[in-house]
Structures are given as structure tokens and as C-alpha cells.
């Protein structure tokens, strides 16, 4: 009987161990303060002469933002395009009409460097929104590399030219547009949705790069809540104490019964 109880004790220790949960180790474009960011680079900040074109970080109430990115339907019933609502004051990376006289190729790129030293099981997370009648040449992509060991793909968008999408603006007005943008098999809307992807490998510095091309002033893409999560390399699983305590009490009761 005692041997069976000891076996049960060992099993409980094993099966009640709890893994260390992933924690946010770096953050940008968020309602909370940026941290873990070593460097941010964007040669296209304020690079376009037209106020309608963009490829940079904005914040509502602080920056002059292209109209295609702003949902003004509460104050302007004629507005029929936008992503950032009246209450959204979180910093975001906004993209509109990157193919313009200042940038004939349309290609833009922005990059982030984050400190990931001491962490494993990395996870990339970002909120994405898009609205417009996109062309097949319009796209965005995210790539990563760790310690300059080569770029790996995280996600790439595509235009579904055989489909349409309904976009609900802040005033509840619904706009139907052809040729929506999608990524990871999901249609994007003007309401932000979270996307996550695992990042393979460990190291000291994680580099992210965003590339995009758009050609049209009525097509908008935005990114918010860029998060990197991970588990500490030095953390180990810890047992859940309550089943062990209950078993110990049971053992004491059993011993008392034998006396």
C-alpha cells in the first residue's frame, strides 16, 4: 500500500508541473511604453511631398495623418474610408500610396531591432488593419533575423481579386469594396485583428523588417501592438504545490489510521 502511495506521489509531482508562461520581452506601437527596442530605422519618414501619402509611424492627436487612414465618420457623414477611429490614440505604422513621384518604385522598408538576450520560444504578434480596393501589386511583408543569420519570412499579404469585403466604420456605416487584402488566409478589415507567428532560434538581437508597396490614395494599411514574447532560458518548470500538499495530508491520515 505504501509503495502505491509513493508511486502516486511521484506521478503527481510530474503531471502537476507548470510550464513557465511566455512574457512580453519587447514592445512598440502600443498603448504602453515602448521597451526592449534597440533601434528603429525608416528612410521614408516625411519623405513624400503629398500629405496623402505615407509610410511611417503616426499618433492621433499629435501628428498630421493622411485622410485615408482616419475614420472620421462620426463627425463627417460623407467619409467612407478609414481605420483609426476617434478614440484610437495608440501609435501605429500607416501606409498609403507608397508609389508616388517621390518614390516611383513604390518600395518602402522600415526596421526594428529588439533585445532578446536570454529568451527562447519567441513569438511575434501584431495587430493589422487594411481597407481599400487593392491591386494585385499591393502587398506588405514582415521578415525577421536573429544576430544577422539571414532573413526568414513571418507573413506576406496578397490581394484577393475574386472577392469583396464589407467594412464597418465607426458610425456603423458599411462600405463594400472589391479586391480586399489578406494575410495568413484571413481577410483584413478596417478593424484591427491580432496575428501571431513563432520565431525560430535564440540569440541576442532580433531584427524585424516591414516591406510594402501600394499604389492608390484610397488604400490604407495600418499596424499596431507590435509585441515580442518569450520564455527565459534559465527558467525551469515548477511543481503545483496544492496536489502535493493534499497527498501529504492523505499520507498523514493513512498513518494515523494504521496506529
Q: Which domains does the chain have, with CATH numbers?
A: 20-236 (2.60.120.200)
pLDDT tens, position by position, 157-211: 999 999 999 999 999 999 999 999 999 999 999 999 999 999 999 999 999 999 9
Contact between residue 98 and residue 108 where contact means Cβ atoms under 8 Å apart: yes
The predicted structure's pLDDT at residue 15: 41
The predicted structure's pLDDT at residue 241: 58
**Residue 238: CB atoms within 10 Å:** 11
* Gap between the Cα atoms of 184 and 174, Å rounded: 24
pTM: 0.83
Q: Which residues contact 73 (CB under 8 A, 6 or more apart)?
A: 79, 80, 82, 169, 170, 171, 173
pLDDT by residue for the chain (259 residues), tens only, comes to 545 544 444 444 444 444 457 899 999 999 999 999 999 999 999 999 999 999 999 999 999 999 999 999 999 999 999 999 999 999 999 999 999 999 999 999 999 999 999 999 999 999 999 999 999 999 999 999 999 999 999 999 999 999 999 999 999 999 999 999 999 999 999 999 999 999 999 999 999 999 999 999 999 999 999 999 999 998 655 555 555 555 555 555 555 555 5
Amino acid at each position: 500500500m505504501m509503495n502505491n502511495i509513493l508511486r502516486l506521489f511521484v506521478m503527481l509531482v510530474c503531471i502537476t508541473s507548470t510550464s513557465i508562461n511566455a512574457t512580453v520581452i519587447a514592445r512598440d506601437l502600443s498603448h504602453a511604453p515602448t521597451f526592449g527596442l534597440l533601434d528603429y530605422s525608416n528612410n521614408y519618414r516625411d519623405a513624400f511631398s503629398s500629405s496623402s501619402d505615407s509610410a511611417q509611424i503616426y499618433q492621433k492627436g499629435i501628428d498630421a495623418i493622411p485622410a485615408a487612414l482616419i475614420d472620421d465618420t462620426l463627425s463627417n457623414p460623407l467619409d467612407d474610408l478609414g481605420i483609426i477611429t476617434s478614440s484610437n490614440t495608440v501609435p501605429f505604422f500607416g501606409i498609403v500610396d507608397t508609389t508616388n513621384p517621390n518614390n516611383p518604385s513604390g518600395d518602402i522598408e522600415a526596421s526594428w531591432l529588439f533585445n532578446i538576450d536570454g529568451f527562447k520560444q519567441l513569438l511575434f504578434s501584431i495587430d493589422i488593419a487594411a481597407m481599400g480596393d487593392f491591386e494585385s501589386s499591393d502587398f506588405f511583408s514582415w521578415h525577421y533575423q536573429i544576430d544577422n543569420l539571414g532573413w526568414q519570412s513571418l507573413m506576406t499579404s496578397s490581394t484577393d481579386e475574386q472577392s469583396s469585403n464589407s467594412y464597418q466604420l465607426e458610425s456603423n456605416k458599411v462600405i463594400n469594396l472589391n479586391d480586399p487584402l489578406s494575410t495568413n488566409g484571413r481577410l483584413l478589415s478596417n478593424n484591427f485583428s491580432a496575428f501571431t507567428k513563432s520565431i525560430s532560434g535564440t540569440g541576442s538581437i532580433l531584427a524585424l523588417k516591414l516591406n510594402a508597396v501600394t499604389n492608390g490614395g484610397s488604400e490604407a494599411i495600418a499596424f499596431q501592438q507590435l509585441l515580442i514574447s518569450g520564455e527565459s532560458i534559465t527558467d525551469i518548470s515548477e511543481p503545483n504545490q496544492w496536489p502535493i500538499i493534499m497527498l501529504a495530508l492523505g499520507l498523514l491520515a493513512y498513518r494515523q489510521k494504521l496506529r
